[in-house]
Amino acid sequence: MWDPDDQLSLLAHEMTHSVQWEQGPVSFAARYTGEWLWNGSDAYNVPKSMLGMTLDSSTVRAWNYTFDEIADYMAWQVAPSAGRVHLK
Amino acid sequence: MRMVLFAMLLSFSMGFDCRTDHGEVRPQIVGGMLTFGFGPSGWRTKSPSVNRISVFELDQRQRGRTVCSVNRLTRVGTVELAAWRYGERIEGFDLQGCGPLEIGRNYGVTVSGSYGSGVAFFVLERTGSVRKLGP
């Protein structure tokens, strides 16, 4: 019943986390928890500096962005018209 | 010990919403007009940042035809909205449709934004009131 674009966007977001998770579950959980505690909801959305960045196995866990920013960047690329992500 | 720590971290991180929590959407009549009030979701303390509002027909508990679509023209930065009067133009948003709604018909509304998305179902009564459907 949700907005279809939002569903697609959220799916892309969560699938990105699964790739991040696969590269090391323990470090993923530790870093994700830390990022969430430190940033709260500011951990989300897409920094303008990310635009043009290529996401692949080496950048999906880039240190200069939070896991959620990276996941939202993937969501942004998959469903740019979705309402759940904005550029910051 | 390592496994316990791993389990704690896992449950801790999975307990966070990861953008799946719901914002509050309140269909109501204000000044004789259908108005949707928006509230922050769950643990979030910020006001809802709204990028998109859709009102659609609810047929057999399924999402039907979209009768009103309000889309923010840009996704740069945020726009906080506490409420929106049905059919009213918002600066910086594109509005499509949004004609009169039928009395007695079931409708749904989805609101999506950067700090949580929400959904609500409602029906307009002959008495001029609005009744929220579902939980």
The alpha carbon dihedral of B118, B124, B130, B134 has a sign of negative
Comparing B77 with A14, which gets the higher pLDDT?
Answer: A14
- Among B18, B41, B57, pick the best mutation site for testing chain A contact (most A Cβ within 10 A): B18
Pairing of strands B24-30, B33-39: antiparallel
Comparing B116 with A64, which gets the higher pLDDT?
Answer: A64
Query: What residue numbers bound the domain in which A74 lies?
Result: 4-78
Residues 4-33 of A with CB under 8 A from B: 5-6, 10, 13-14, 17, 25-26, 28-30, 32-33
For residue B97, pLDDT over 80 is answered with: yes
Residue A22, in any domain of the structure = yes
Residue A84, in any domain of the structure = no
Weakest mean pLDDT among A36-50, B12-26, B111-125: B12-26
Cβ distance B119 to A1 less than 8 Å, yes or no, reads yes
Q: What is the mean pLDDT of residues B39-59?
A: 78
CB B72 within 8 A of CB B52: yes
Across the interface, of A3, A14, A48, the residue whose CB is closest to B18 is: A14
Cβ distance B77 to A87 less than 8 Å, yes or no, reads yes
Kindly state whether A69 is in contact with chain B, defined as any CB-CB distance less than 8 angstroms: no
Residue A10, in any domain of the structure = yes
Residue A83, in any domain of the structure = no
Residue A88, in any domain of the structure = no
Predicted confidence band of residue B42 (pLDDT cuts 50, 70, 90): low
- Among B11, B117, B122, B133, pick the best mutation site for testing chain A contact (most A Cβ within 10 A): B117
ipTM for the complex? 0.79
Q: Domains in chain B, start-ordered, CATH in brackets?
A: 19-133 (2.60.40)
pLDDT at B127: 94
Cut 0.90: pTM above it: no
Residue A18, in any domain of the structure = yes
Q: Closest approach of chain B CAs to the CA of A58, in angstroms?
A: 22
Percent of chain B with pLDDT over 90: 56
Q: Which residue of A has its CA nearest to B113?
A: A84
Residue A41, in any domain of the structure = yes
Domain count, chain A: 1
Distances (CA, A) of A87 to A46, B17, B35: 5, 20, 28
Describe the crossing of helices A67-78 and A4-22 by its angle, rounded to 10 degrees.
140
For residue B23, pLDDT over 90 is answered with: no
Cβ distance B10 to A2 less than 8 Å, yes or no, reads no
pLDDT tens column, A44-58: 899 999 999 999 988
For residue B135, pLDDT over 70 is answered with: no
